[in-house]
Structure 1
Amino acid sequence: MSERIAAAVRKEPRRYGVGFAVGLAAVIAAVLVLVSGLATASGAARKAARTNRAGGHAAVLSQAQINANVNRLINQMTVAEKFGQLEQAGPNGPNGTPGDLITLAKNGQIGSVLDLVGVDQINQVQQAALQSRLHIPLIFGLDVIHGYRTMFPVPLGEASSWDPRQVARDESVSADEAAADGIKWTFNPMVDISRDPRWGRVVEGAGEDPFLGSAIAAAKVRGYQGNDFSAPNKVAATIKHFGAYGAPVAGREYNTVDMSTQQLFNDYLPPYKAAVDAGAATVMASFNSLNGVPNTANPYLLRTILRDEWGFNGATISDYQAVQELEVFGYANGPAEAARLALTAGINIEMAVAIGQQPNQPLFSTYEAYGPQLLAQGKITMAQLNEAVRHVLTLKYLAGMFSDPYQGSDARVASEELTPANIAVARKTADESMVLLNNNNHALPLSPSVGKVAVVGPLADDALDQLGPDVPIGYSTKPADLAPGGADKVITVRQGIQNVVGQGNVNYAPGCTTFTVADPCNETSGFGDAVTAAQNSDVTVVVVGEPAGYSGEASSRSMLDLPGQQAALVQQIAATGKPYVVVLMNGRPLTLGWVADNAPALLEAWYPGTTGGDAVADVLFGKFNPSGKLPMSFPRNVRQIPISYNELPTGRPFDPNNKYTPKYLDVPNTPQYPFGYGLSYTTFSISAPTIVGSPSRSGAFLVRATVTNTGSKAG
């Protein structure tokens, strides 16, 4: 499709649906904040100068110098060494040990490493790479999704803050902590738009809206990379999963995506484009096929859109073993053709399980195994190979790996991870991520002198689940480290409430005897203790939700109710007649049914991270006025899915009094809680919006409104 046609598709048609007005008054102020945060940094991969720290002195390394150095290396490399730079391997595949990585690094058979953590191990493998013939350093990557040691709210929670500046601070902390341990490349941000909460990876994104998603995507890139990701406290960012990975059929992970061009350009591509404009260093292709073409071998996405139309000049990478999966798709006739299709489509780096074919091991690297043969047969060209190698080597120069290959150290780990300053950033984000869904008759805030507080529910004192999915490999999950006062410094809801009212004023009972993915509160024998705790208290805080394993990759759900018997637990607490409030910890919108209709107060906390318990207490007891807004609609039931506020208009707008308009017979059209929804402890008035400047179809303009706090509480 030509750029002219693509531009037309991006602009038309305009979206003015009934749902557009839902929650508008609640989000205008947040939109004004977002507009101010949308200014993008210049492309990091195209910056004209970089810092060379060789000898301890800062020196300017121009882009021309980087290009010259890269060309010099390419001219010196053998074909095998070139394909080695295109391979990424980890310590946990069939080869199994860091010792294998050392051998591969010495032989120049790999260019990058994933999932190796611990600065001592990383430096050992780096030392081996520097002993290779051309002394080319490795770059080490990891999924740093919502923290490295200091854990922030999950990305869907971060997006609920509607605060790109704070999100950028989160990623800046994450980058510093990861880089201190030798990680210079994160496989994040995930910027996939999704309107289907059955899909488990909605937890990693910013929800249903391309505008909010674009603002958050750009902020994350700026936070990870800063102005120069060769800096010792910055890392290269990866845009994933390109593209439209968030729209799998039926919400099932890895499933195919079938989408109109209009929807692709209007709704799903904007966050990727925003991240490219913010200077993201790398892009990861997604597992899925898009309209019949696997994205790992999709030149329309990887070349026409990404490079030709958007001007991306960084490196691209496959997802885990995705090149070889082209054969399983039925798209490639064998692994050799898979390698050819991926490389010529534009995949520079193959993320592989293992380097080299092993007996009885079906997974291996296709570039290294078949690339030289394809080159000799003329099925790929030396120019195509050199192009891919050039992007990889340039990434390493931009990350500072040539000037300082040992950027992490034990001293940095000790001084830069889980610091009081980092924890303070995490608490601020956790505060801002809380969304107040119900507050009937001003049930909240509670008074710190309320008396006895029962804290019940399976997530009330569960440090590990509170962190959510995507805890980095290498993060300590030992019980001693997760315990109160442990090395991980996690504050649970039970501990956070104790910090306010005192330990002696808290009656705790989990209610559920087990809470795992396999058994998420199916046993009710512990409910009696929870009811007793409520009866002996002045107010009860019930903390329910999903086990962390219910969210993330390969965690799709067909039903979105509270798992197990948790709704029954809430009902039994309500039956005591004592005051109660409900706190949710989950990674997706849920169908809450009775709980949504009856809970006097309902607080969405998501998975709030290291400081989550203190943040929940901040909101419950009024220290922080909740300001979060939903980035994704909560359906009434799964049969409303997909659901979003910005559906296209029809010729028959919804009319509840007219049978022949688009509606259900058995449930309202509206969601339980719409996009942009979120209550406060105070009230606001918003003046009529005014337009500054002259609106045009192709230009930007400013919409201004005055927001006035008309209530009695700051907010």
Structure 2
Amino acid sequence: MKKGNVRCIFSILVCLLLGAKVYHMHAHQHDYSKEIETLLSRMTLEEKIGQMNQVNFDSLSDELLQQVENGEIGSFLNVTDPKVINILQKAAEKSKHKIPLIIARDVIHGYKTIFPVPLGQAASFEPAIAETGARIAAVEASEHGIKWTFAPMIDIARDARWGRIAESLGEDPFLSSLMGEAMVKGFQGRDLTAPTAIAACAKHFVGYGAAEGGRDYNSTSITPYALRNTYLVPFQKAIDAGVLTVMTSFNDNDGIPSSGNKYLLKEILRKEMRFSGLIVSDWNSVGEMITHGFAVDGKDAARLAASAGLNMEMNTGLYVKYLKRLVEEGRISISDIDASVRYILNVKFCLGLFDNRYLNISKESAIYSEKHLQAAREAAVKSAILLKNDNHTLPLREIRKIAIIGPMADAPYDQLGTWVFDGEPEHTVTPIGALRDYTEYKDIQFVYEPILRKSTDNDTVNFRKIRQTVETADAAIVFLGEESRLSGEAHSLSDINLIGYQSDLLREVKKVGKPVVTVIMAGRPLTIERDLPYTDALLYCFHPGTMGGPAIWDLLFGRANPSGKLPVTFVREVGQIPLYYNHNNTGRPAPDHAKTLYDKSGEKQSSVGDVSFYLDSGKEPLFPFGYGLSYSEFKYSGLSLSSKKIGMKGSLVISVTLKNTGNMDGTEVVQLYVRDRVGSIIRPVKELKGVQRVNLKAGESKVVRFVLSPDDLSFYGMDMIRKPEPGYYTVWVGGSSNTDLQETFLLE
């Protein structure tokens, strides 16, 4: 069998309804169609269905090994012992067709070396951070035999109550696309047959992040326009980047669960988006169609999923139990079965598993290498967002002694964040651990008193220690936030204030009269408006991972300059949700600084002149998308366009002068926003269309340029065709989504 020595993505355009075998190969990619068709022609129906069966591994047994030898299992979840994997692969090699297993695991933001949660990585606005993190995760996970991960999660997330917002890349389709594409490239590498390449999985298809009320697994009601212009955008980018697999979501949209939605999978994903990889269900999502009330029983659920084009079933076992009977009854087409098996076999061929299924368990380990740890530290630095810095409290200078307080200062597991099945707290470097063990911080005097043991702690008995702890120090650093278990899957919250007595703790520290710096580690954007008056500076870190401790001190002491920007809007209070920057305009948009109820006391009730906003919390968020401070100050000026008019085949160069007017070298994330003033459907008030991280020395200036093409302005309009529409457009360039430096051009 010929080895694939180049990166292979087997692009199959299959007319699923007819079961036609139509292959389309990208240039320079190996075509495994002959090998696949040869295998298919020799396989029994039972063996084909076995390839569609993914099983959660529990323990080795003679019965399990016999199932593998019989070809009844195509993939295993959650095996991480290389010796066990080799035993399983040996059993697969004893099967009639010697088809290798593919071993899968949730490796979301690191395997052993844990990077910031994906929402944190998105805050860097730097695709290289995401690609490096995914590459390191792939290197470490593949060492233990994992060849398939269920990441990146590219659900657009606009509700901070949803626990899985931590796993998302934020609220914006452009940024999510940019970072998701980078993760796909990082996981899969340049050569899919390389030992360190693992298959990426774009999830969850589709709309899962729009769950009602932020309640996990809940229904969505996404319109066809919103689906294509917002929620499908990152998936298309991942497909264009060559992602090998896509996972269906738990939710129903408009009454149809994704795992049984034939229109969604066959018409949109396969035909419109031209996805030619493997579609896998989420955990038990096929069986859950019964609970939804969409399927009568397990047999009906298997029929619906297989007919819809779902290729591999995760964990439920309904395919193995019912598909053969459904084919024999003529209720499932054999062409659908064959199409699914082609996709599955193609992934295994592309990953080189037919040639290299066994692990070399004696090779030197790369896990926790210095290179990996340094990359994780850099990612944590670039992911942190400075939200407040009154009177230049930070960076800390001429500080002889600091008081360290709070439950997150030395919480090695919680610092890692959600989805860290394989993360090891004993390898986590916490802020306290960094001060104790890192030579660059050995000379810093500190006194440490957590006061609260956990973020959920409701015992205030140690509050009496606050004054004596802080009084002897020059400044207090208060570490607050969320334990890892408070965010992630199935961890939705209706109250997203700092939990427990953390806000009370901060107020008591402030009373002592020393400068107060707050560091928050959390998996979501918390509602922290009530806490801001009680701190002089605030550094926000979405759970920063293994190397969060030294990264935080790098920032607080000025060894690094904060550069992170918010990938999601911070609301003032939970009642403002959903609130996101790229919303549509209403016919009565609220003006800036619209008066609240408290500003209008004594007025009679009237609807004349009223506008769209909250009477109590106004129209503005606490912090807008794209916001983040620096120890440097950046001035934007001289915004200019290469032309005031462009044609449908032209392009526009947008230039702006950026100057670091501060006295410290720094990095600014320059952001380009666009608005289509009038469209065939209402267009968002602003849309992110470009980002650049620009490094400037103190006092240095640079002209930053963006190139905008008509395709960048394309969207699905009233005719449901993606194209740019002629008319006037406004462009903004600045350091956040609320920038006001703007120009206008005409697209003809």
Match of 2:590 in 1: 654
Distance 2:208 2:386 in 1: 30
**CA positional deviation for 1:560:** 0.5
**CA positional deviation for 1:128:** 1.2
Residue from 464, 482, 491 that aligns with 1:546: 482
Match of 2:416 in 1: 467
**Which deviations, in whole Å up to 9, do the C-alpha atoms of 1:592-632 show, x marking residues without a partner?**
13212331100001111111000000110001100000000
Match of 2:555 in 1: 619
Which segment drifts farther, 663-672 or 435-444? Answer: 663-672
Match of 1:76 in 2: 42
| 8 Å contact from structure 1 (residues 129, 137) kept in 2 | yes
Calculate the TM-score normalised by the size of structure 2: 0.81
| 8 Å contact from structure 1 (residues 192, 246) kept in 2 | yes
The change in CA–CA distance for 1:281 and 1:572 in structure 2 (over 3 A counts) is: same
**CA positional deviation for 1:541:** 0.7
Is 1:510 the counterpart of 2:453? The answer is no
Residue from 350, 353, 364 that aligns with 1:401: 353
**CA positional deviation for 1:258:** 0.8
**CA positional deviation for 1:98:** 6.0
The change in CA–CA distance for 1:140 and 1:445 in structure 2 (over 3 A counts) is: same
**CA positional deviation for 1:699:** 7.3
Which segment drifts farther, 436-445 or 421-430? Answer: 421-430
The change in CA–CA distance for 1:531 and 1:695 in structure 2 (over 3 A counts) is: farther
1:473-492 pair list within 5 angstroms: 474-477=422-425, 482=426, 488=427, 490-492=428-430
Structure having the larger proportion of residues in helix = 1
Unaligned runs of 5+ in 1: 1-40, 49-60, 353-363, 483-487
Match of 1:418 in 2: 368
**Which deviations, in whole Å up to 9, do the C-alpha atoms of 1:131-186 show, x marking residues without a partner?**
11211100101111000111100000000000012211111111111111111111
Is 1:165 the counterpart of 2:128? The answer is yes
The one-letter amino acid paired with 2:512 is T
The change in CA–CA distance for 1:279 and 1:666 in structure 2 (over 3 A counts) is: same
Match of 1:705 in 2: 656
Match of 2:622 in 1: 672
Distance 2:303 2:387 in 1: 51
**Which deviations, in whole Å up to 9, do the C-alpha atoms of 1:490-512 show, x marking residues without a partner?**
21011234445437711111111
1:531-680 pair list within 5 angstroms: 531-655=467-591, 656=594, 660-680=610-630
The change in CA–CA distance for 1:613 and 1:276 in structure 2 (over 3 A counts) is: same
**CA positional deviation for 1:99:** 5.6
1:95-110 pair list within 5 angstroms: 97=60, 101-110=64-73
**CA positional deviation for 1:242:** 0.4
The change in CA–CA distance for 1:597 and 1:139 in structure 2 (over 3 A counts) is: same
The one-letter amino acid paired with 1:401 is L
The one-letter amino acid paired with 1:380 is I
**CA positional deviation for 1:366:** 0.7
Runs of 4 or more above 6 Å deviation: 697-700
The change in CA–CA distance for 1:509 and 1:101 in structure 2 (over 3 A counts) is: farther
| 8 Å contact from structure 1 (residues 159, 206) kept in 2 | yes
**Which deviations, in whole Å up to 9, do the C-alpha atoms of 1:302-350 show, x marking residues without a partner?**
1111110111100000000111111111111111111111011110000
Match of 1:493 in 2: 431
1:215-234 pair list within 5 angstroms: 215-234=178-197
| 8 Å contact from structure 1 (residues 512, 524) kept in 2 | yes
The one-letter amino acid paired with 2:310 is I
Residue from 256, 261, 267 that aligns with 1:304: 267
Identity of aligned residues (%): 40
The one-letter amino acid paired with 2:547 is T
The change in CA–CA distance for 1:224 and 1:458 in structure 2 (over 3 A counts) is: same
Distance 2:189 2:215 in 1: 35
The one-letter amino acid paired with 2:114 is M
Match of 1:246, SS state, is: helix
Match of 1:582, SS state, is: strand
**CA positional deviation for 1:62:** 7.9
Match of 1:440 in 2: 390
Match of 1:371, SS state, is: helix
Residue from 210, 214, 218 that aligns with 2:173: 210
Distance 1:101 1:438 in 2: 57
Match of 2:340 in 1: 388
CA RMSD of aligned residues (A): 2.1
1:344-359 pair list within 5 angstroms: 344-352=307-315
The change in CA–CA distance for 1:702 and 1:241 in structure 2 (over 3 A counts) is: farther
| 8 Å contact from structure 1 (residues 170, 425) kept in 2 | yes
Match of 2:479, SS state, is: strand
Is 1:430 the counterpart of 2:380? The answer is yes
Distance 1:78 1:458 in 2: 58
Distance 1:702 1:301 in 2: 37
Distance 1:269 1:289 in 2: 16
Which segment drifts farther, 107-116 or 154-163? Answer: 107-116
Distance 1:459 1:550 in 2: 13
Distance 1:701 1:385 in 2: 48
Which segment drifts farther, 328-337 or 313-322? Answer: 328-337
Which segment drifts farther, 132-141 or 279-288? Answer: 132-141
Q: Give the paired residue count.
A: 631
Match of 1:544, SS state, is: strand
Distance 1:146 1:203 in 2: 11
Distance 2:618 2:189 in 1: 46
**CA positional deviation for 1:534:** 1.3
| 8 Å contact from structure 1 (residues 513, 526) kept in 2 | no
Match of 2:246 in 1: 283
Structure having the larger proportion of residues in strand = 2
The one-letter amino acid paired with 2:633 is T
1:148-159 pair list within 5 angstroms: 148-159=111-122
The one-letter amino acid paired with 1:666 is D
**Which deviations, in whole Å up to 9, do the C-alpha atoms of 1:645-665 show, x marking residues without a partner?**
111012222122695111211
Distance 2:510 2:533 in 1: 12
Which segment drifts farther, 651-660 or 339-348? Answer: 651-660
Is 1:365 the counterpart of 2:317? The answer is yes
Distance 1:142 1:199 in 2: 23
Distance 1:672 1:702 in 2: 33
Which segment drifts farther, 218-227 or 195-204? Answer: 218-227
The one-letter amino acid paired with 1:78 is T
Distance 2:424 2:62 in 1: 23
| 8 Å contact from structure 1 (residues 43, 280) kept in 2 | no
The change in CA–CA distance for 1:504 and 1:217 in structure 2 (over 3 A counts) is: closer
Distance 2:498 2:650 in 1: 45
**CA positional deviation for 1:688:** 3.5
Distance 2:175 2:647 in 1: 21
| 8 Å contact from structure 1 (residues 454, 541) kept in 2 | yes
Match of 1:203, SS state, is: helix
The change in CA–CA distance for 1:504 and 1:581 in structure 2 (over 3 A counts) is: closer
Distance 1:623 1:47 in 2: 51
Match of 2:582, SS state, is: coil
The change in CA–CA distance for 1:376 and 1:154 in structure 2 (over 3 A counts) is: same
| 8 Å contact from structure 2 (residues 632, 663) kept in 1 | yes
Match of 1:451 in 2: 400
The change in CA–CA distance for 1:131 and 1:279 in structure 2 (over 3 A counts) is: same
Match of 1:140, SS state, is: strand
The change in CA–CA distance for 1:696 and 1:415 in structure 2 (over 3 A counts) is: farther
**Which deviations, in whole Å up to 9, do the C-alpha atoms of 1:50-92 show, x marking residues without a partner?**
xxxxxxxxxxx98665110111111111111110000000124
Distance 1:230 1:704 in 2: 42
Distance 2:432 2:185 in 1: 35
